[in-house]
Amino acid sequence: MTRGKGKSGLIVLGSQEERHGLLPEDTDTKLAAYVALKAAAATDAKLLGIVNTATDHGYLKHGRHVHAALVLEDLKRIIVNTVERLGIKGFVIVNGHGGNRLITEHLPALEKLLGVKILFNNAVVEVEGAHAATGECSMAAAAGFCDPSIAEGQKDFERFPEVGFIGLREAHVNKRIKELAEKTKKEGVKIDLELGKRLLEQAAESVVGDIRRL
């Protein structure tokens, strides 16, 4: 077991209602929770809870998202409760939804207000690639909540325009999203269990690294 420097806690941040083709709507939350559990099992960090709200850019219309201020308020509640009940003052946010990066600019002010240290870990998002495509589907399958047989159906981009954001043309104002959409349309969607395991392990190792830095 890898020990962190003092007490630290893990908070799961994902998205509970977001279209992912044939994957569950809460795939982002499930993946972040899975990675957080792996990191907690490898360290002395405590699992503290799940933030049930999520935010995103206005050009992404694929789920229920709220203003970043509401996500920060929900996050604040968990942190305040943890400081009061457990005395923990070092936190790693394990994020599984790309749009939640919008809260990061506000975290320094929250740290100062509450007298805590907060690290935002975005490894799940960074390793998975295009939305609901090969990387994310492979991770979901490796985590045990996705049947690999969905791969063929996941390639129905007319039925599921959110896969790779191929059909969400308004999102293509983002250069990175447009590049991933084009790549997904060309390559399709595959589910590779070994790939999924590797990506989950990479994300968990990144979280462990943040725990060590606290």
Q: Would you say residue 3 lies in a domain?
A: no
What amino acid is encoded at 18 in this protein? E
State the angle between helix axes of 68-86 and 107-114 in degrees (0 to 180), rounded to the nearest 10.
30
pLDDT surpasses 50 at 4: no
Asked, for residue 150, whether it belongs to a domain, the answer is: yes
Q: Which residues on neighbouring strands pair with residue 13, listed in sequence order?
A: 51, 95
pLDDT at 14: 98
Higher pLDDT, 61 or 134: 134
pLDDT at 36 over 60: yes
- CA dist 173 and 170 (Å) reads 6
113: CATH:
3.40.50.10310
**Residue 85 burial (10 A CB sphere; 0-12, 13-18, 19+):** exposed
What is the DSSP-derived secondary structure letter of residue 162? T
| pLDDT tens-place string over residues 120-158 | 999 999 999 999 999 999 999 999 999 999 999 999 999
Let me know if residue 188 belongs to a domain: yes
The rounded distance, in Å, linking the Cα atoms of 114 and 165 is 37
Domain membership flag for residue 113:
yes
| Average pLDDT estimate for 9-16 | 98
Residue 142 lies in a domain: yes
Evaluate whether residue 123 is within a structural domain.
yes
Counted domains in the chain: 1
Give the Cβ contact number of residue 151 at 10 Å: 19
**Distance separating alpha carbons of residues 2 and 85, to the nearest angstrom:** 24
The domain in which residue 201 lies consists of: 9-213
2 falls within a domain:
no
